[in-house]
Structure 1
Amino acid sequence: MHSGHAPRLLACSALLALVALASGTRPAYAAPPRHDDAAMHAFVDKLLSRMTLEEKIGQLSIMGKGADNLQTLIRNGRLGGTNGVLPDTDVLAYTRRMQKLAMQSRLKIPLWFMGDVNHGFRTIFPVPLALASTWNPQLVERVHRAAAEEATAVGVDWTFSPMVDITRDPRWGRGVEGSGEDPYLGAAMARAQIRGFQGTNLAASDTMMATAKHFVGYGAAQGGRDYNAAHIPQDQLEDVYLPPFRAAVKAGVGAIMPSLTTLNGIPATADGALLNGLLRKRWDFQGLIVSDFDAIPELTLHGVAANDAEAARMALEAGVDIDLHSGTYLKQLPALVRSGKIPMRVLDRAVRRVLEAKYRLGLFDDPYRYDDAARARRVTRSPAHRALAREAAAQSMVLLKNAHGLLPLRRDARIAVIGPLARDRTTMLGQMPAAGRARDVTPILAGLRQQATHADNVRFAQGVSVLGGNDAGIADAVRAARAADVAVLVLGESHDLFGEGLSRSRIGLPGRQLELAKAVIATGTPTVAVLINGRPLAIPWLHDHADAILEAWVPGDATGLAVADVLFGRINPSGKLPMTFPRDVGQVPIFYAHTRTGRPYDDSSDLALHYSSHYVDVPNSPLYPFGYGLSYTHFDYSDLHVDRSHLRPDGVLHVRVRVRNTGICRGADVVQLYVHDKVASRSPPLRLLKGFQRVMLAPGQSTEVTFTLRASDLAFDRGDGSWGTEPGAYDLYVGGDSTATLQSSFTLDAAR
């Protein structure tokens, strides 16, 4: 009934746990320390040998709260877990009640409780794309540590985050869940999120298992349309889309979720070469593979399985351990195993992974270890977490324009706050607010009134709705702007325009918001545009005519406080774009790490322009490049120095640059290092991010920033399909965004 060979003797604590299982009472679990793999394997092998076929299959199944037979399945020991991220629910009472049912089952195997803890649990932080704009992995780790503390206190021990899909098409609605277009930044954010969720001890009562998703290429959906097919050449797969997942595996992520879409014609849920081959064998991933929501029966819709039984067999044999929500494993696997179509060893392999993951979480020590009412009261929306939400929101905001130094605003100014999102609460929670509540959000209008010298000086006019066609309110907005010293336009996307299933073919301001902006700006009143959105927007007119633009993304509970912090200058903006902003949707997909082509754009002559890679109606360049972001102060870069001209294959190269704050206020900048391979077996990208550091400097202060480059940092999918480096000349660039001009060079030597 099980594979492997258990040691003759179990640790005493494991024996006690098994005695409790046999007795039918609540187990006095005292499983061995989680670092003792031999004891864990012995414990799991013994437990596995006692399980019926139905109990095994149950461990491979997760059903939602609304399942008709949920409680019966749990009481009969035929379910591994259920959702715990339940808005408007007493989650602590629910998880405790369900766990008590599990303790009435024959073997008393604990349930686990899971769901999307994407950017906070009860305290809602900025969405992941906004968090990536901080370029601050330490801050991102703290955010996810806070989220884990709140979620675990009410029984949630597994999150389906982080989403580490690379996104180069802003039409795709789920880009808001990720970290943008770049694999280096994406890998850094993946590691930070996993450290925040999982900590250093997965069995601690305030850490939870993380899931890297969606493996792989989901963010490359054709046409930017959610759930669409992805076709990715092997070199792009290796160089762009796999690195964040590779980083997640190296960081010890507990689970991987395959994409529910196809990659090069094969649904990832049934792709054994991808899951058992690349992930398990090549990368030695030892954790769980959990399907996406209903992805297993959808194999029939993809046209690769004739029926649900075939879909279940294909998924399990491909390496998918757990069926999320559909119940297909529960219904189909018993007959498949009994008929011999699925070998018992294949089933046992998946069950063992589930039991080992529960063991590592400490659930066999104490099934209720993640239920702690006292801790829940202490950490849920604690002052520290609310302060962190405000800090993260302010740090995630990107100043895109600030003509004539309009910002920061005077607190005693007469301000007209105009726009459909100025009083919005629901949108600010983002696309996956977990247990967040709209009433906890401070809207932008309220935040500005709180920090203004005189709240009565801050007047409001909605103007238009986000999507509506009624422009009757524009006249009121114009009157408000004329009576003010400055207008603050709050524009962008409502919560039903970004996120899963919410792709857009046009990525400008929706509805009649642009008309509102034109009317307000035509008054001549200095105007700041604050953007609320879950994707880069094409806003060329706004860029040309607004005096200042602040990209605020979707900031969470502290929205109004953080926007006011930045607009009034309490916080100097320091965010940098994790995705390129196009001028027009026709440029999409657009990203900084593109190749030159054989006929690069050249405006030196009309003939050269005609026969170059360009548009006839819009420049090639983006509206705002990757890594871009302004400050209320200024930073100069100088004295770029590379400590050696040749980098040996086993050597280290140090790149040093001096950064000086030449402005009049304290501020932070993100120093970015880019590298260009001048000649390679594949046409190389113009630049690739290879390092970044955040520095805080007082006016007049300077510091030397050092980057370390190793030959392995230059590896790529070579022309012959192998992974590695190639000797030759490289350029490097250092500056404040991907268009940095401070340049040096070095040579990578050949291996001897």
Structure 2
Amino acid sequence: MPTSPLTATEQRFVAQLLAEMTLDEKIGQLTQPEKNSVTPEQVTRLGLGSVLSGGGGNPDPNTPANWRAMVMAFQEAALASRLGIPLLYGVDAVHGHNNVVGATIFPHNIGLGATRDPDLVRRIGRATALEVAATGVRWSFAPAVSIPQDVRWGRSYEGYSQDPALVSELAVSLIEGFRGDGWDSETAVLPSVKHFVADAAATWGSSKRVNREAMAEVQNADQSTDQTLAIAHMDQSFTELLKLGAWQIDQGDAEIDEATLRAVHLPPYRAALEAGALNVMASYSSWQGLKMHAHQYLLTDVLKDELGFEGFVVSDWEGIDQIFPGEYDRCVVAALNAGIDMVMVPFDLNRFIDSVRRAVLGGQIPHTRLDDAVRRILTAKVALGLFEHPRTDPALLELVGCDAHRALAREAVAKSLVMLKNDGDILPLRRGGPAVLVAGLDADDVGVQCGGWTVSWMGGRGPTTPGTSILAGLRHTLGAEQVQYSADGQLDAEPEYEVGVVVVAEEPYAEGMGDRASLTLSADQVALLGRVRARCQRLVVVLLSGRPLLITEELPHWDAFVAAWLPGTEGQGVADVLCGDLPFTGRLSFDWPQNSSDLPRRADSAALFPMEP
């Protein structure tokens, strides 16, 4: 059972500070706007407790030094407030400091789950924390401890595994890496364990995030009047994405019983709290029809009282707004009384502040509940040592994207690859052998390798951040003269190749924008594979994806098949294993479905490739 992270002296300090605070200063600590919706002057005047950068909430130009300058400007503003309470700046550093151009981008969690390597994840957590702290940030909205049950879900890649024990083990390892020498070290980063709870158990078709009829004529998300969806830039039109299944399951309703919730989805939270986590993020989703942001039983009775959580609960982005759509004051009252302590507003902070003030003065939110929320936030800030060292060492900037961290990411990539077929031992590829044909645009695309949550919310194609593509890695390892490349697989009549390597990938996506009704390869991808198959004696397929895709019908035409997940910036790690410099050691941490009838996952499903022990 977790105990207070503070000494008796520190607890008295928090109590004394709380006693000095005005009502407005208390409300300020609960308020977390997005950096594009707030000024440093407002941070000072309103005594705000936190600011965040949402996906793509970056300085211009996007450099590590500019990140630090931006964050420090907000921190200095907080320190200039009447009580000088330091700011807690938050970011989505979910696979490295992934919003920062030039940072090391590690494999997404689904790949780390395949490594089965807690020490590796711990070292990744430490490297990530160093790069995050270098920019002045001390809070990351990670780790996700989801247990995905339906891989049509666009957040499946944020889950380590479908095995709660493995998820618990790796989440604890990441938390230990974030902590480093201690929470009060200036390079410790507060983890946000998310999304409480059972976000990955939602039922297909239960999401109400998007009014599909109202959005039917919207061609692009940025044409929507929805401020959040306007940030979701993707190559396909919004109408087309809705037809493909976007926003069908993310933020939906988990209709499971409580026994399943406790047995499958709650254990990683218990493990994280025992490891010292001081922040939990509430889920957008519902449980049995009640929004988690209003779920007093789970947020207060279970998380805080039963599990003894002493930290604070933060809402997700505009999460409270969904409780009673269009009735904002009711949303605020329901969320705070249920157990939300800090609200990710993120746009209109004055509306939130005014609403809380009215509710407290009107008796709808008890003063004791307000004080409890503030105490929890201050407790985390004291535990992080923010009052002693609110500013991190600018010399840390030299660690952002450094060689040592990229070597660690390369190691992680190599350990994450899973060989699912290798007829005739075609792999590893041989140095000095005949020319190898490499095909597919995705073989030479760092942005695709990284996937969503990379520089922008949805991620994107192309050189979005410095890195090494799989093609570049193969050329480096085998030699440029042994690697022939065709982006589209369109070849002259001669020659025929002994081995062809085709890299195919999912388009980058995040959250509900990545929900898909069908997980098959596209017609263009199948045609590419056919063209290369016709010109090669043996075919190797490398799949970049945030989840297992349905490849049962195509698999017989492939001699070798490798799941490379979303490896991040270090594509050389893929080449290291394909070429035999390192062995295949990754093991499936998800069931690989045979067909669409296996979705969602069921106990009686016969997986094409079952999750490995």
Query: What's the TM-score, normalizing by structure 1?
Result: 0.70
Matched, 1:350 2:361: no
Name the SS of the counterpart of 1:580 in structure 2.
coil
- Structure 2 residue aligned with 1:447: 473
CA distance in 1, matches of 2:397, 2:531: 49
Matched, 1:562 2:573: yes
CA distance in 2, matches of 1:386, 1:524: 34
Contact 1:462 1:477 in 2 (8 A): no
CA distance change for structure 1 residues 477 and 536 in 2, over 3 Å: closer, same or farther?
A: farther
CA distance in 2, matches of 1:332, 1:479: 71
- Kindly state the Cα deviation for residue 524 of structure 1 after the two structures are TM-superposed: 4.6
- Kindly state the Cα deviation for residue 433 of structure 1 after the two structures are TM-superposed: 2.5
- Structure 2 residue aligned with 1:157: 138
Encode CA deviations 1:482-522: one digit per residue, 9 max, x unaligned: 532210010121213x5443111111112410122123223
Contact 1:408 1:568 in 2 (8 A): yes
- Structure 1 residue aligned with 2:310: 286
Matched, 1:386 2:398: no
- Structure 1 residue aligned with 2:514: 502
Contact 2:498 2:536 in 1 (8 A): no
CA distance in 2, matches of 1:229, 1:55: 36
The structure 1 residue matched to 2:439, chosen from 418, 438, 443, is 418
Matched, 1:625 2:606: no
- Kindly state the Cα deviation for residue 427 of structure 1 after the two structures are TM-superposed: 1.5
Name the SS of the counterpart of 2:554 in structure 1.
helix
The structure 1 residue matched to 2:562, chosen from 547, 550, 571, is 550
- Structure 2 residue aligned with 1:50: 20
Contact 2:284 2:316 in 1 (8 A): yes
| AA matched with 1:447 | G
Contact 2:448 2:505 in 1 (8 A): no
CA distance change for structure 1 residues 479 and 271 in 2, over 3 Å: closer, same or farther?
A: farther
Name the SS of the counterpart of 1:459 in structure 2.
strand
Name the SS of the counterpart of 1:526 in structure 2.
strand
| AA matched with 2:611 | F
- Structure 2 residue aligned with 1:490: 503
CA distance in 1, matches of 2:521, 2:152: 13
The equivalences for 1:139-150 within 5 A come to 139-150=120-131
Name the SS of the counterpart of 1:107 in structure 2.
coil
Matched, 1:337 2:360: yes
- Kindly state the Cα deviation for residue 420 of structure 1 after the two structures are TM-superposed: 2.5
Contact 1:478 1:520 in 2 (8 A): no
CA distance in 1, matches of 2:267, 2:527: 42
Q: Which runs of 5+ in 1 are unaligned?
A: 1-33, 464-473, 596-619, 628-671, 673-752
Matched, 1:227 2:241: no
CA distance in 2, matches of 1:415, 1:536: 26
Q: Which runs of 5+ in 2 are unaligned?
A: 98-102, 205-247
Encode CA deviations 1:595-642: one digit per residue, 9 max, x unaligned: 6xxxxxxxxxxxxxxxxxxxxxxxx52111101xxxxxxxxxxxxxxx
- Kindly state the Cα deviation for residue 284 of structure 1 after the two structures are TM-superposed: 0.7
Name the SS of the counterpart of 1:173 in structure 2.
coil
CA distance in 2, matches of 1:334, 1:84: 25
CA distance in 1, matches of 2:465, 2:174: 27
| AA matched with 1:284 | G
- Structure 2 residue aligned with 1:12: none
Contact 2:196 2:281 in 1 (8 A): yes
- Structure 2 residue aligned with 1:535: 547
Contact 2:6 2:383 in 1 (8 A): no
- Kindly state the Cα deviation for residue 35 of structure 1 after the two structures are TM-superposed: 6.5
CA distance in 1, matches of 2:13, 2:536: 74
CA distance change for structure 1 residues 375 and 200 in 2, over 3 Å: closer, same or farther?
A: closer
The equivalences for 1:227-266 within 5 A come to 227-266=251-290
CA distance change for structure 1 residues 46 and 97 in 2, over 3 Å: closer, same or farther?
A: same
Name the SS of the counterpart of 1:501 in structure 2.
helix
Name the SS of the counterpart of 2:48 in structure 1.
coil
CA distance in 1, matches of 2:493, 2:259: 56
CA distance in 1, matches of 2:367, 2:466: 50
Encode CA deviations 1:502-552: one digit per residue, 9 max, x unaligned: 111111112410122123223352110011001111101332120101111
Name the SS of the counterpart of 1:426 in structure 2.
helix
- Kindly state the Cα deviation for residue 239 of structure 1 after the two structures are TM-superposed: 1.3
Matched, 1:395 2:415: yes
Contact 1:217 1:237 in 2 (8 A): yes
| AA matched with 2:359 | L
Contact 2:111 2:416 in 1 (8 A): yes
Matched, 1:102 2:102: no
- Structure 2 residue aligned with 1:360: 383
CA distance change for structure 1 residues 333 and 499 in 2, over 3 Å: closer, same or farther?
A: closer
Contact 1:77 1:109 in 2 (8 A): no
Structure with higher helix content:
2
- Kindly state the Cα deviation for residue 154 of structure 1 after the two structures are TM-superposed: 1.3
Contact 2:546 2:566 in 1 (8 A): yes
CA distance change for structure 1 residues 131 and 35 in 2, over 3 Å: closer, same or farther?
A: closer
Matched, 1:456 2:481: yes
Encode CA deviations 1:627-685: one digit per residue, 9 max, x unaligned: 1xxxxxxxxxxxxxxxxxxxxxxxxxxxxxxxxxxxxxxxxxxxx4xxxxxxxxxxxxx
CA distance in 2, matches of 1:520, 1:433: 31
The number of residue pairs the alignment matches comes to 546
| AA matched with 2:378 | L
Contact 1:60 1:329 in 2 (8 A): no
Contact 1:397 1:553 in 2 (8 A): yes
CA distance in 2, matches of 1:356, 1:434: 31
- Structure 1 residue aligned with 2:241: none
Pick which of 434-443 and 80-89 moved more. 434-443
Name the SS of the counterpart of 1:531 in structure 2.
strand
- Structure 2 residue aligned with 1:16: none
CA distance change for structure 1 residues 558 and 43 in 2, over 3 Å: closer, same or farther?
A: same
- Structure 1 residue aligned with 2:151: 170
- Structure 2 residue aligned with 1:750: none
Query: What's the TM-score, normalizing by structure 2?
Result: 0.86
- Structure 2 residue aligned with 1:699: none
| AA matched with 1:554 | L
Contact 1:77 1:102 in 2 (8 A): no
CA distance change for structure 1 residues 554 and 478 in 2, over 3 Å: closer, same or farther?
A: farther
Kindly indicate whether structure 1 or structure 2 has the higher relative contact order, using CA contacts under 8 Å at least 6 residues apart.
Answer: 2
- Kindly state the Cα deviation for residue 233 of structure 1 after the two structures are TM-superposed: 1.4
- Structure 1 residue aligned with 2:113: 132
CA distance in 1, matches of 2:402, 2:535: 44
CA distance change for structure 1 residues 220 and 233 in 2, over 3 Å: closer, same or farther?
A: same
Encode CA deviations 1:182-203: one digit per residue, 9 max, x unaligned: 1111111111111111235111
Name the SS of the counterpart of 1:422 in structure 2.
helix
Contact 1:428 1:441 in 2 (8 A): no
Encode CA deviations 1:248-294: one digit per residue, 9 max, x unaligned: 12211111111112111111101101111011111111111000110
- Kindly state the Cα deviation for residue 50 of structure 1 after the two structures are TM-superposed: 1.6
For the pair shown, which has the larger CA radius of gyration, 1 or 2? 1
The Cα RMSD (Å) is: 1.9
| AA matched with 1:622 | A
CA distance change for structure 1 residues 346 and 586 in 2, over 3 Å: closer, same or farther?
A: same
| AA matched with 2:440 | G
Name the SS of the counterpart of 2:47 in structure 1.
coil
- Structure 2 residue aligned with 1:78: 47
Name the SS of the counterpart of 2:561 in structure 1.
strand
- Kindly state the Cα deviation for residue 384 of structure 1 after the two structures are TM-superposed: 1.3
| AA matched with 1:566 | V
| Identity percentage of aligned residues | 36
Encode CA deviations 1:693-726: one digit per residue, 9 max, x unaligned: xxxxxxxxxxxxxxxxxxxxxxxxxxxxxxxxxx
Encode CA deviations 1:221-248: one digit per residue, 9 max, x unaligned: 2116212222111221121111111211
